[in-house]
Amino acid sequence: MDSVIEKKRSFKIQAPVEKTVPQSEREEVRKYLRQIPNVPEPNLGRVREIKEEIKKGTYLTKEVIEEAAMQLALRLLRKNSD
């Protein structure tokens, strides 16, 4: 009769073996890593413009737009009255 208890299988986990990379490949990777910060973000210029407009107070806000709309409405009403 077969035993009810099965034998446990044991296995050993081995640490990964680091492959050596040639020096030329390492230098190529370093070259590209140095170039990464130098590539500008395409929208970075527009973000800077918006920040400057906000600092200067010239950036359109909801209040500024509403005030301009009221002034324009008053002008149009005055012209129609004449």
* Residue ranges per structural domain of the chain: 23-81
Q: What pLDDT score was predicted for residue 51?
A: 81
Give the pLDDT band of residue 32 (cuts 50, 70, 90): confident
Amino acid present at 71: Q
Helix boundaries (H) for 1-82: 23-35, 44-56, 62-81
Assess contact for 59 and 50: CB atoms under 8 A.
yes
Mean pLDDT of 43-54: 79
Per-residue CA distances from 71 to 61, 68, 74, 82 (Å): 16, 5, 5, 17
Mean pLDDT rounded to a whole number for the chain: 77
